[in-house]
Structure 1
Amino acid sequence: MFLLLCILSTLASEVFTSDYSLLDQDYYDLNNAKAIFNQFIQKYEKEYDDRIDYHFEVFKQNLQNINKWNKEKGTKMFGINAFTDLTFEEFSRFYLGFNAKNISSDGIVYKPSGIEAPDSLDWRDSGYVSPVKNQENCGSCFAFSATGNVEGQYAKNHNTQAISLSVQQSLDCESQGNCIDGGFPHNVFQALAEQGGSMREEDYPYEGVKGQCRTQRDKIVAKVTGGSQLGVSGEDDLKEALASHGPLSISVCVDNQFKAYNGGVFKPSTPCYQSNHAVLLVGYGNEGSTKYWLIKNSWGKQWGDQGYFRLVMGQRACGIGVIYTACAKVA
C-alpha cells in the first residue's frame, strides 16, 4: 500500500509540474485567465511580492493582445512566454540594451564586393554559430551580439566550429556599456582588442550584472584586433555582407508585439524604426514566396523559435539594414 501511494504521489507530482497545456493554445479564453496564469507562474518559476494582482492584470491584457494579433495575422505567431506578465515599459528596462539615440556615424562604409550571394544561407550549417544564450534581466544584448559576431569570425577564419566565448568579459571590459543603459557591439570589439581577445565562456561565465574586467590573458582563445560599424545602404548590401563576412551584429526595433513572438515570419503590424535591441544576423531564406532574415536572439531557447526569429525581408522591417551593422576583426 505504501509503495502504491508513493507511485501515485509521484505520478500526480509529474502531472502537476509538467502540464502546461493551457499555455499553448490557438486562442486564450480570458474567462480562464487565472488557471492559465497559475500554469505560467509554475512553468517560468515566477515569484511575486504583494504585486501579484497587478501582474495578473498585465498578464490578462497581454493575452487579449495575443488573441488580437493572431487573429489579424491569421496564424499562431504570438503566444505566452516569460515576458507575458510585463508591460512593454517594464520589459524594455531589463531585456533590451541598444540605444540608437546615442549612436555615432563613425564606421566603415560597406563597399559591395560583387559576389553572388546564394539564394538561401544559414551560417549555423557551417558551425559558425554557438548555442542560444540568455541575457536574463540585464540590458546586455549588445555584449551578446558582439560576442556572437566574434565567435562567428573566429570559426570562419579558422574553418572550425564556433567556440562559446565569454559574454561576461564583453560586458565587464567595455567601459561605457552596462545593464541599465546598454551599449554598442563595436565598442565591445575595441575593448576586446585592448584586452588581447576573448576568453571561453566556461572560463569567464555569465553573471547577469556588470563587474570588474577580469581578463586572464593566458586563457584568451580568440584574438580580436578591432572592429567597427559597417555602413550598409540597405538590405541588398546587408545580404551580400552577410554572405561575405559571416554572422553580423545588427540592431532591430523591438515593440510590444515582437516580445510575444512565438514563430513564423514576423512582419510588424506598425512601422518600428527606433532600434533598441542588438542581435546576431545568421542567415536568410524563404517560406513560399515570403523571403526572410534568420536572426539569433539572446532571450533563451524558450523564446520565439528556439531562441531565433525570422523577419520579413525587403521591407526594412524593424529597421533592419537601416540603422546599425557591425563586424569584428579576428585573427
Structure 2
Amino acid sequence: MFKSIVLFSSLLVVTFALSDVEVAQEWKQFLETSKKVYQSPKEEAKRLGIFRENLKKIEAHNKIFNEGKVTYKLGVTKFTDLTPEEFLEYVHKDKVLPSIKADEVFKANPNFTAPGSVDWRKQAKLFVKDQGQCGSCWSFSTTGAIEAHYYIARRQAVSLSEQNLIDCATSQYGNNGCNGGNYNGAFDYVKENGIDTESNYPYRAQQGSCNQRSTAVKISGYSNVNGDENSIQQAVASKGPVSIAIDASSELQNYHSGVLDDGTCTSNVNHAVLAVGYGEENGSPFWIIKNSWGSNWGENGYYRLVRNRSACGITTMPSYPRI
C-alpha cells in the first residue's frame, strides 16, 4: 500500500475549519513529517480523501474537548491517512496470544497503602521505541519491562533487543515473530537464555534466524499480577512497570493527549504495552501507558488511560519480570 518511514516532528491538533486550502496545507505537512510515499497518484488521492475525513472527526472531537465534555484530545498522527478498518488491520498484526502462567502471582496486600501517584518515567530509564510495520508489540512490552526493572535493581540503563526476541523466542515460547506473541513466553526465553543489547542485535522489523551472540541481562523469572486494578496499582507502586495487554481498537489511531476514556474499547486485547505509572487529573484517575509507536505519537510515546474501570482489558494478563 505504501512505504513508511515514521519520523514525526510533531503531532498537530486540528482546530481549524476544513477549507480545501487548509486541508492541503495539513496534508503537505503530514507528508513531510511522516515521509510516506505512495505507489501512484491514484493511491495518494485516496489517502488524501481518508485524511480529510479523519480531520473532520478530529475537529469535531476537539470542539467538545475544548468545551470540557471529554478528557482527551485528538490530533494528526502517522495513522491519519488510514481508515478505521485499516488501522485495526495494523493493530491486529500484533495478535496478543494466550497467556502463560508464571511461577508466582502478585496479589494486592490489604495492609499496603499505595502512593497517590507513581511515574517511573522520572525514576527509571525508559526507552520509547517504534515497532514499525511488524506485529511485534509483545517484544517491546518485554524489553521495556526488563529495561525498567533492571535499572531499578542495578541502576544501570541498558536498551535491550526486540529483534533478539523476534528471532529467537519463537513458537516454543508461544510467539510468532511479526505476527504476534506473548510477553510471558518472552520472559521465559530471557530467563533461560538471557537477552542481547539493542546495539549488538538491532531491530529490523522482520523475523530472521536466531543470532544471539551475547547476554546483557538475564531475569530470575516473572510474576503474573492478580487480575484487578488494585493489584496492578500495588505492583506498579512497589515493584515497577507492569506489562499489560489492551484493546487498541479505540481512539488510539488519532490520540494526541489527555486521559483516554472513550467507552468503546473492550476486553478483547490485541496490543501489548507497559503500565509505567498512574495518577489523577481534574478528577480523572489514569494509568500512564508506554506504547511502541515512536516518541512522536501521543504524549511523547505514552498515553494515559482511564483507571478504575478495567478499561480496554487492562486486567486481562498483567505481569512483570524479576531481576
Distance 2:239 2:17 in 1: 43
The equivalences for 1:49-128 within 5 A come to: 49-50=39-40, 51-74=43-66, 77-95=73-91, 97-99=93-95, 102-104=97-99, 106-107=101-102, 108-113=104-109, 114-126=111-123, 128=124
Q: Read off the aligned partner of 2:158 and give its amino acid letter.
A: I
Q: CA deviation at 1:232?
A: 1.9
Structure 1: runs of 5 or more not aligned? 1-19
> Kindly tell me: are residues 28 and 173 of structure 1, through their superposed partners in 2, closer, same or farther at Cα, counting changes over 3 Å?
farther
Residue 5 of structure 2 corresponds to which residue in structure 1? none
Q: CA deviation at 1:93?
A: 3.3
The 3-state SS of whatever aligns with 1:131 is coil
Q: Is the 8 A contact 1:96 1:140 kept in 2?
A: no
Distance 2:251 2:238 in 1: 32
> Kindly tell me: are residues 268 and 130 of structure 1, through their superposed partners in 2, closer, same or farther at Cα, counting changes over 3 Å?
same
Distance 1:29 1:141 in 2: 35
Residue 254 of structure 1 corresponds to which residue in structure 2? 248
Q: Is structure 2 residue 203 aligned with structure 1 residue 206?
A: yes
Q: Is structure 2 residue 18 aligned with structure 1 residue 29?
A: yes
Residue 238 of structure 1 corresponds to which residue in structure 2? 232
Q: Is structure 2 residue 291 aligned with structure 1 residue 297?
A: yes
Residue 193 of structure 1 corresponds to which residue in structure 2? 191
Between Structure 1 and Structure 2, the one with more helix by share is 1
Distance 1:277 1:104 in 2: 13
Distance 2:203 2:213 in 1: 15
> Kindly tell me: are residues 309 and 184 of structure 1, through their superposed partners in 2, closer, same or farther at Cα, counting changes over 3 Å?
same
Aligned residues: 303
The 3-state SS of whatever aligns with 1:198 is coil
Q: CA deviation at 1:240?
A: 0.6
Q: CA deviation at 1:98?
A: 4.2
What is the RMSD computed on CA atoms of the aligned residues? 2.3
The 3-state SS of whatever aligns with 2:274 is strand
Q: CA deviation at 1:30?
A: 4.9
Distance 1:45 1:187 in 2: 35
Q: Is structure 2 residue 304 aligned with structure 1 residue 327?
A: no
Quote the sequence identity (%). Answer: 35
> Which one has a bigger Cα radius of gyration?
1
- Of 261, 264, 282, 2:258 maps to 264
Q: Read off the aligned partner of 1:315 and give its amino acid letter.
A: R
Q: CA deviation at 1:21?
A: 9.7
Q: Which digits, 9 at most, give the CA deviation of each residue in 1:198-248, with x for residues without a partner? A: 21111111111111111113xx121123335x1423111110111122111
TM-score by length of 2: 0.86
The 3-state SS of whatever aligns with 2:276 is strand
Q: Which digits, 9 at most, give the CA deviation of each residue in 1:138-185, with x for residues without a partner? A: 111110001111112211222x04311111112211113345421110
Q: Is structure 2 residue 210 aligned with structure 1 residue 216?
A: no
Q: Read off the aligned partner of 1:280 and give its amino acid letter.
A: L
Q: Is the 8 A contact 1:151 1:163 kept in 2?
A: yes
Q: Is structure 2 residue 159 aligned with structure 1 residue 170?
A: no
Q: Read off the aligned partner of 1:193 and give its amino acid letter.
A: K
TM-score by length of 1: 0.84
Q: Read off the aligned partner of 2:14 and give its amino acid letter.
A: Q
The equivalences for 1:268-283 within 5 A come to: 268-283=262-277
The 3-state SS of whatever aligns with 1:71 is helix
